[in-house]
Amino acid sequence: MSVAVRLVPVQEAYEDLLNRTLSRISCDLGRLIYLASTRDYNTGNYYHEGLAGRFSLDVARKALEIAHRKAFYRVSALSLEDLASNLEAYLRSSRENPQVFLRAWQKLEPYRVAIPTEVNLTVAQLFTSNLRLALAILRFRQKLSH
Amino acid sequence: MIGTSSALIGAVVLLVLILLWIRADSASRHGACVLDEWLPDQSDAADLCPPEFVSQIFSGQDLAFISRLQSPDLKRHFLRERSAVALLWVEQTKEAIRRIMSRHLEASRLSADIEFATEARIFLQYAQLRSICSLLFLLIELAGPQRLHGMALYTDGLTQRIGNVLRELESGSRTREMDGARSS
């Protein structure tokens, strides 16, 4: 009973996050990167001011953690073709120079910080491997267009 | 003459298999080292990979897409990346089976009512899984993961089944122990 009572606000906070914030981001990869950015690198805790204000700090933290893990598994399950399209959409939304963006992502691999804690090791490896491939595909297309 | 040539062919095949084994082993070890450096949490490293991802790793859909791009470099890159992921999955599965079995053996040692037939069946399935994993290890290098889709799904299904059976056995013996403690 007490677990059910505690889960209800987390579910509400999760839905609030989906409707108010995540629905405004155009692609799954963008949503994942956004959710990963709400995690504190030093503590691993999630923080979202608006959500914590509407609910509580703990409820907001839990909702963000769940949303992050779900977004991660959704992106990891994308086919390479869909992931490449997602990456292209994310690149366009960043408004950066495509060449600079692709070079930086290939060198720095910033997507590695988008991996949540406590996810399956093979899925984490599939995620980074697919992103490396998606980046190579976009660079290949870029070369062709030039 | 025929005996000598078949022995020679056998030796060559064995040598190729050993070389492939060493290559696959070092590739998976290298992959594990790379992962060690950056993955945030390794405590659940031996947990089973969700079945839909096993299907994805071994599916031919992504290879078909890459082939349509008609770039030999991209194709090589893809095959190398996907083989590394597939090898990691095999390693993880082997580790998960080992952990499940060692937990079961520990529980069996403490249990008073062991059924020989059930234990023999579990052991046979365990031995079968270990052999399939070793075979997959070789075949991933030899044929690529995309040709092993069925075999990988079978392995995953069998691993999940063994895990479920052992969980049921453990919870059954715990219930019996509690009933015994209550009645005494």
Q: CB-based contacts of B96: which residues, under 8 Å, 6+ apart?
A: B46, B47, B48, B159, B163
* Residues of A with Cβ-Cβ distance to B31 under 8 angstroms: 125
Q: Minimal CA–CA distance to A127: which of B26, B183, B123, B53?
A: B53
If DSSP codes are grouped into helix, strand and coil, which group holds residue A78? coil
pTM: 0.81
Four-residue CA torsion sign, A92, B74, B49, A102: negative
**What does the alpha-carbon distance between residue A1 and residue A103 come to, in Å, rounded to a whole number?**
52
Least confident of B84-93, B151-160, B162-171: B162-171
Q: What are phi and psi of B142, to 5 degrees?
A: -75, -45
Determine the residue of chain B that is closest to A143 in CA distance.
B71
Confidence band, pLDDT 50/70/90 cuts, at residue B76: very high
The confidence score (pLDDT) of residue A142 equals: 92
Q: Is A118 on the interface with B (CB under 8 A)?
A: yes
Of the partner residues A123, A129, A137, the one whose CB lies closest to the CB of residue B49: A123
Between chain A and chain B, how many beta carbons pairs sit less than 8 Å apart? 80
* Residues of A with Cβ-Cβ distance to B89 under 8 angstroms: 122
Tokens 């406590």, residue located:
A118
pLDDT (tens digit per residue) in B109-166? 777 777 888 888 888 989 999 999 999 999 999 999 999 999 999 999 999 888 887 7
Domain ranges of chain A: 2-145
The confidence score (pLDDT) of residue B20 equals: 65
Four-residue CA torsion sign, A104, A106, A107, A113: positive
CA distance B61 to chain A (A): 8
**What does the alpha-carbon distance between residue A82 and residue A86 come to, in Å, rounded to a whole number?**
6
Confidence band, pLDDT 50/70/90 cuts, at residue B18: low
The backbone region for A27, taken as left when phi is positive above 0, alpha when psi lies in -120 to 50, beta otherwise, is beta
Determine the residue of chain B that is closest to A74 in CA distance.
B53
Least confident of B14-23, B104-113, B163-172: B14-23
pLDDT (tens digit per residue) in A7-52? 679 999 999 999 999 999 999 999 999 999 999 989 999 999 999 9
pLDDT (tens digit per residue) in B32-56? 434 434 343 444 444 789 999 999 9
Q: Which two tokens stand for residue A8?
A: 């209800």
Residue A99 predicted with pLDDT over 60: yes
Q: Is A110 on the interface with B (CB under 8 A)?
A: no
* Residues of A with Cβ-Cβ distance to B92 under 8 angstroms: 120-122
ipTM of the prediction: 0.88
Contact at CB, A137 and B74, closer than 8 angstroms: yes
Contact at CB, A123 and B66, closer than 8 angstroms: no
